[in-house]
Amino acid sequence: MIVNLFHALPKIISTKRLTMVRTTLAHSPALFKIWSDSEVAEYMNIEKFTTVLQAEEMIKAINAEPAACRYTIFLNKEIIGSLGINEINSLDNTIEIGYELAKPFWKKGYMTELLTGFLSEIESSLPYKGVFAKVLPDNSASILLLEKLGFQLENQTEELDLYTKKVCTIFIYKLYFK
């Protein structure tokens, strides 16, 4: 049985320039704009959203799942993306993280800053040995980010990509805590 240990994480996490707040339905309209952008959705393994209702349903599903939690990312008062925990791998006691930013905020160092803060909170608050991220092989920006943060390519697998509706190769990058 999976016990939701994510209540140990703070509801708000702040970095130098950004704030992460637990995702609520109030964030749906802004997240819909991000999740409906084909250049963002391409790497998220979700269907491209066409209605705000889809964003609401996704947020409800994440919030109801004991093995997941999501934070909405704010730059000042503007929502620019989200990140969170997608699942628990009980075989090696690690958790999967996922993240995305709206395109205008790519390549500004925001995700490096966010993940550094988020990983620190996970390591100090939760009993897991490490984290992993699933990445499409052509998502070079995400691969570089993960490698910069100390993640190492550990495996590859095949999964159904909900965006393309095709089975595709996925790289699995892992970071074990010290």
pLDDT confidence tier of residue 178, bands split at 50, 70 and 90: confident
pLDDT at 46 over 80: no
Tokens read off for 12: 């708000």
pLDDT at 41 over 90: no
Q: Which residues contact 82 (CB under 8 A, 6 or more apart)?
A: 23, 27, 31, 34, 70, 71, 72, 73, 99, 100
Q: What are 91-121's pLDDT values in tens digits?
A: 999 999 999 999 999 999 999 999 999 999 9
pLDDT at 30: 97
Q: DSSP readout, 42-89?
A: TTTTSPPP-SHHHHHHHHHHHHH-TT-EEEEEEETTEEEEEEEEEEEE
What region, left, alpha or beta, does residue 43 occupy, with left being phi > 0 and alpha being psi -120 to 50 degrees? alpha
As a whole number of angstroms, the distance between CA 169 and CA 124 comes to: 32
